[in-house]
Amino acid sequence: MKQHLLIYGVLLFPSLLRAQTTLTGQVTDRKGNGLPGANIFIKGSYDGVNTDANGAFSFRTNQKDTATIAVSFMGYEPLQQTIKLDQPTVQFTARLRETATMLNTVVITAGAFEASDEKRQTVLKPLDIVTTASGGADIPAVMQLLPGAQRVGDQTGLFVRGGAASETRTIIDGLAVQNPFTSGSPDVAQRSRFSPYLFKGTAFSTGGYSAQYGQALSSVLSLNTKDRAEDNDGVSVGFNAAGISLSAFKKERITFSMNYNNLNPLFNVLKSNINWIHAPESGGTSIILTQPIGKRGLLKHYTDVSASRQAIEFRNFTGDFRPSPFTVQNRNALSMTTFQTTWDEGRWGLQTGVSYNYNRDQLGIDTVQAQTREQRMQGRVVLTRSLGDQVSLLTGAELHRYTYQNRYGVWGGSLTDWYSAVFVETEVFFTRKLAVRAGLRGERASVIGRANASPRLSMAYKTDSYGQVSLAAGQFYQTPDQTYLLTNPKLRFEQANHLILNYQRIRDNRTFRVETFYKDYRNLVRENTNGIYDPNVYRFPTSRTNNTGFGYAQGFDVFWRDKQSMKNVDYWVSYSFLDTRRLFRNYPAKAMPTFAATHTLNLVFKKRIPALGINTGATYSLASGRSYYNPGSTVFLGDKTRPYSNLSVNMSYVKILPRQFLVLYASAENVLGTKNSYGYRYTPDGSQKFAVVPPFYRFFFVGAVLNLTRKSIDPELISN
């Protein structure tokens, strides 16, 4: 019976038989530093503990013989190991490897500014585009407040580090956009065609960019459209000083918009420096469709059609300088369809797209009639493959058909170019601290019958948790400007070589960035004008041309942004120093181009007042004078304007009601009324000069947007 009792006892209290083992030791990182708070336990049991302040642990277990020890800690890769429990006390040390995160993994940043929600560490957020004073809710205008870009108030486009506007390429979802800016009058910089609300991310590269992009000597502005429309059904109505807009959206699928703008009423109120014959008037419509295909596929379609016209009175600087009319009428269409998908758990990725661009400008320049018509069809495919955490590969191809027709009075011509490109790129993480991206792009342009191959290389090294150094270098080619190709199809590709060194430090909500660069221009197109310089930007080049132009640009930028020192305040400071000279186009001598300024400073300040629903902002820009052509001067482009300065403010008010959403906004450009001039024009005999000035010294704008939705809007908008 006693025996039985023993058996019962063992059966009833099984733990009596088990001798406990004590496990002690430490959990450390790869360098042997203790990790406090790590969870260490026997797999499949409750036995375990979190490590103490030194990463040490000690606990007992009833397991016998062998056990699987599991260690887990946030930010580190989990570890499992089988150990023998053959001693009363078992020693164990676990070394954990850090998981790849934004904080500990290097990112290649030389030359690039990104605005994105998806990546946690970016310098800009999409909202910045619409909340920056002096940015006018225009993506390129806000990019001009970043280091590397220049504010050139009298010429359209993005001017980057001594590069002309034509050296910047705008890309939407990987597809090149032929005419990203609206067509306007002489001496007035134009806005881009695209609403910032279309995009989820913006990447602005000031050099050294990926082999995915070509046909840009200076810069790439890459925009990515949103993956889905508004998360609601509804309509949005906008009124502003310049016009009205209407858009309707169907949950996550369709967004349809229409707009009509007429600046005439506003221009009647404001004091203009320009005599408007017909204030800018435009209208357009667009549609965006998104359709998920399968679990990971996404099909997107975007079509935008618009028309505009304006006319001014300007001084015809080639003739007798009497005031004469200038009219421009534009028709533009862009249609693009893209498809993207991934498979094999994201290891493979595919992005494809096709697009069609149409643009027609009809100009009336005094008595001369001119017209340009451009069409571009393109297809693009990119395949990506990741091989583990360390290596990824990208390869792709592009094919474009571009046609161009130009008529300028009795001059004119047309051309067709088949442009093709293939590219391959690999990104390798040698360690989490060192990444290298190497790529090669090959291009061919049928219009000049030439091909090129351009290598690209960039690398980054993480110096500590917050800082990193990046280096980028590469060769960049661009087909010469269309107007030159009409008279000379034997030209070669223009070329730029970039070298960029960058240091960036992002800690919490503070960013510091400094970058230095050298850009070497070769084979630029030069006109043989026998030393005669014609400053008319609309002239049709008829002289003989060759590729003997060259130049350089060098300098550095500093950027500081701080969102945390003051509550609800966000500010940034950017400064760029630029030294550049070039001999190109119809320049008779090497000179600093008219679109370059040596010093550029921007101060951007934003403050939120959540209790009142108000956002306010101010932007101050200061740039040293730019060169202008003075026929009386002995030095070509040797004269400089006075420095440019501009203080602008903005304010917006948001009111959210159930199913309604109201935004009121107002902005004032150049509130101090500084009389900036962008340059001067001289009569041919040099006796009289006229300043090139902005259309308005002071400019005011107000507007409202009302959103009506079927489902109630969550008030969470700007909470916490």
Q: Which is nearer to another protein, 19 or 612 (CB)?
A: 612
Query: In angstroms, what is the minimal distance from the CB of 291 to another protein?
Result: 18
The one among 231, 320, 389, 464 contacting another protein by CB under 8 A: 231
Judged by CB under 8 A, which stretch of 41-49, 175-183, 240-248, 384-392 contacts another protein? 41-49
d(Cα 331, Cα 308) in Å, to the nearest integer?
7
Residue whose C-alpha is closest to residue 332's, from 156, 184, 203, 143: 184
The residue type at 513: R
The one among 30, 64, 655, 675 contacting another protein by CB under 8 A: 655
Cβ atoms of 431 and 463 closer than 8 Å: no
* 320 lines the binding site for another protein (CB under 8 A): no
* 39 lines the binding site for another protein (CB under 8 A): yes
d(Cα 303, Cα 48) in Å, to the nearest integer?
60
Size of the site for another protein (CB under 8 A): 49
* 345 lines the binding site for another protein (CB under 8 A): no
Which residue do the tokens 């902002």 mark?
617
For residue 89 the two structure tokens come to 């006390």
d(Cα 98, Cα 686) in Å, to the nearest integer?
70
Residue whose C-alpha is closest to residue 651's, from 698, 603, 607: 607
* 497 lines the binding site for another protein (CB under 8 A): no
Query: In angstroms, what is the minimal distance from the CB of 43 to another protein?
Result: 6
3-class SS of residue 185: coil
- List phi, psi (to 5°) of 164: -75, 165
Residue whose C-alpha is closest to residue 465's, from 4, 102, 130, 181: 102
* 666 lines the binding site for another protein (CB under 8 A): no
d(Cα 534, Cα 550) in Å, to the nearest integer?
20
The one among 658, 673, 684, 686 contacting another protein by CB under 8 A: 658
- List phi, psi (to 5°) of 156: -85, 140
3-class SS of residue 619: strand
* 542 lines the binding site for another protein (CB under 8 A): no
The one among 17, 54, 58, 75 contacting another protein by CB under 8 A: 75
* 37 lines the binding site for another protein (CB under 8 A): yes
Judged by CB under 8 A, which stretch of 40-48, 89-97, 174-182, 285-293 contacts another protein? 40-48
3-class SS of residue 634: coil
3-class SS of residue 197: helix
* 565 lines the binding site for another protein (CB under 8 A): no
Query: In angstroms, what is the minimal distance from the CB of 74 to another protein?
Result: 5
Which residue do the tokens 């000031």 mark?
206
Cβ count within 10 A of residue 95? 15
d(Cα 127, Cα 184) in Å, to the nearest integer?
27
Q: Which of residues 119-178 bind another protein (CB under 8 A)?
A: 120, 125-127
**Strand (E) or helix (H) holding 487:** helix 482-487
Alpha carbon distances (Å) from 510 to 39, 131, 560: 32, 18, 7
Which residue do the tokens 């930028």 mark?
557
Residue whose C-alpha is closest to residue 372's, from 331, 326, 418, 339: 331
Cβ atoms of 624 and 597 closer than 8 Å: yes
Q: Which is nearer to another protein, 401 or 510 (CB)?
A: 510
* 566 lines the binding site for another protein (CB under 8 A): no
The one among 295, 532, 612, 634 contacting another protein by CB under 8 A: 612
Q: Which is nearer to another protein, 258 or 654 (CB)?
A: 654
The one among 654, 664, 671, 702 contacting another protein by CB under 8 A: 654
Judged by CB under 8 A, which stretch of 162-170, 407-415, 442-450, 711-719 contacts another protein? 711-719
DSSP 8-state secondary structure symbol assigned to residue 390: T
* 16 lines the binding site for another protein (CB under 8 A): no
* 66 lines the binding site for another protein (CB under 8 A): no
CA angle (331 as vertex; 328, 336 as ends), nearest 5 = 145
x/- contact string, 178-217, with another protein (CB under 8 A)? ----------------------------------------
Query: In angstroms, what is the minimal distance from the CB of 612 to another protein?
Result: 6
For residue 600 the two structure tokens come to 């550029």
The one among 344, 345, 685, 716 contacting another protein by CB under 8 A: 716
Q: Which is nearer to another protein, 46 or 388 (CB)?
A: 46
Judged by CB under 8 A, which stretch of 327-335, 488-496, 654-662, 687-695 contacts another protein? 654-662
Residue whose C-alpha is closest to residue 286's, from 257, 325, 246, 320: 257
The one among 28, 47, 491, 623 contacting another protein by CB under 8 A: 47
Judged by CB under 8 A, which stretch of 175-183, 296-304, 349-357, 647-655 contacts another protein? 647-655
For residue 140 the two structure tokens come to 């390129």
- List phi, psi (to 5°) of 141: -65, -35
Q: Which is nearer to another protein, 539 or 659 (CB)?
A: 659
- List phi, psi (to 5°) of 197: -75, -10
x/- contact string, 87-126, with another protein (CB under 8 A)? --------------xxx-------------x--x----xx
Judged by CB under 8 A, which stretch of 7-15, 141-149, 281-289, 454-462 contacts another protein? 7-15
Q: Which residues bind another protein (CB under 8 A)?
A: 4, 8, 11-12, 14, 37, 39, 41, 43-50, 70, 72, 74-75, 101-103, 117, 120, 125-127, 231, 508-509, 610-613, 653-658, 713-720
